[in-house]
Amino acid sequence: MADTARPARDPRRRYGLRPTMKDVAARAGVGLKTVSRVVNGEPGVTPDTERRVREAITALGFRRNDSARILRKGRTASVGLILEDLADPFYAPLSRAVEEVARAHGALLINGSSAEDGERERELALALCARRVDGLVVVPAGDDHRYLEPEISAGIATVFVDRPAARIEADAVLSDSFTGAREGVAHLIAHGHRRIGFIGDLPRIHTAAERLRGYRAAMAQAGLAVDDSWVALGPTDPGRVRADAERMLAGRGSAAGPVTALLTGNNRVTVTVVRVLAGLERRVALVGFDDFELADLLTPPVTVIAQEPALLGRRAGELLFRRLEGSGGEPRRVVLPTRLIPRGSGEVPPHS
């Protein structure tokens, strides 16, 4: 997995610029434990040492991180998780993993769903902050997260997962959607397909845009032109997906003819396309982005580009708690690889 720090656009937004307890300890020439004792009003510090620590605090403008303090103080800490869709099983292992990390840190996890609505996401995030969560893990729906800056400045650690933040620099844990989609399409091309369709999620969603980019890159790399009619982006409701799939498979509106293979942009799209293909006489190749339950027991078993939703959740949760425990530094972007799992549907040859 790639684990890279990106430069922050606005220095005031960097986590690293807020002095940490470590900075105070270094300046006062004492250990971290001593600073912690002074900050939390605990005994065991000589008056002289306390004075030096307080001077360092003043000099550096150190502000106690209330979140970290609360985590230490024994009040039940809580972290919030904002999901995009409660009904998408992709988020189930992700949520559970964040919950397990929270529990390992003695914190409760509180969830909410944005239902893919940026305004709803904002409302929920601020409602959770107002209800004193110590940190937030966000699967973002919105396209502008500047509303979170005051919360982040106030010490609410925030980690984005599955999709990056927009218009602020913040920690993010993502899957490599671009490479995954490119490999999926290359796999279909390697099995003889030339007319390949892509049915994806709304183009404003980061993962949908990245997967489309991967699809186009693989086609371009193989010297294949993409007919406009082979790309369909939109909401993942079954009616829309079914209509687009049937249109592409019939070659309607296409000068280049019907597709012989499909890349589906996420598991919600895939399960609908599986239903469409089950009703056809001829066999059409299918590679689905996201693994899903029972994919291997279908006929044919479905070839997928698997993400690791549990690992996404775990990495996001761990990063959140490292921030809550005072870890500074630039916002980090963690990118997890995907994995092509050939099972049958992606190895179907083109019908002649």
Q: Which residues bind its own copies (CB under 8 A)?
A: 76, 78, 86-89, 92-93, 95-96, 99, 108-113, 115, 123-124, 127-128, 131-132, 271, 274-275, 278, 293-294, 297-299
User: What is the nearest approach in angstroms of its own copies to the Cβ of residue 246?
Assistant: 17
Question: With contact defined as beta carbons under 8 Å apart, do 345 and 286 qualify?
Answer: yes
**What CA–CA distance (Å, rounded) separates 203 from 321?**
32
User: What is the nearest approach in angstroms of its own copies to the Cβ of residue 306?
Assistant: 17
Question: With contact defined as beta carbons under 8 Å apart, do 316 and 98 qualify?
Answer: yes
Residue 31: φ, ψ to 5°: -80, 165
User: What is the nearest approach in angstroms of its own copies to the Cβ of residue 297?
Assistant: 6
Q: Whose Cβ is closer to its own copies: residue 87's or residue 190's?
A: 87
**What CA–CA distance (Å, rounded) separates 247 from 230?**
9
Q: Whose Cβ is closer to its own copies: residue 25's or residue 128's?
A: 128
User: What is the nearest approach in angstroms of its own copies to the Cβ of residue 165?
Assistant: 21
User: What is the nearest approach in angstroms of its own copies to the Cβ of residue 300?
Assistant: 11
- Return the H-helix or E-strand segment holding 188: helix 177-190
Sequential DSSP letters for 112-123: EE-TT-HHHHHH
Question: With contact defined as beta carbons under 8 Å apart, do 193 and 261 qualify?
Answer: yes
251 half-sphere exposure, CB direction, 13 A CA radius: 7
**What CA–CA distance (Å, rounded) separates 142 from 118?**
4
User: What is the nearest approach in angstroms of its own copies to the Cβ of residue 278?
Assistant: 6
* Residues whose CB is less than 8 angstroms from the CB of residue 333 and which lie 6 or more positions away in sequence, other chains included: 3, 4, 5, 6, 164, 171, 172, 173, 174
Instruction: Give the pair of three-digit tokens for residue 191.
Output: 């099995």
Q: Whose Cβ is closer to its own copies: residue 255's or residue 294's?
A: 294
User: What is the nearest approach in angstroms of its own copies to the Cβ of residue 119?
Assistant: 12
Single-letter amino acid, residue 255: A
Q: Whose Cβ is closer to its own copies: residue 84's or residue 169's?
A: 84
Burial class for 110, CB neighbours closer than 10 Å (0-12, 13-18, 19+): middle
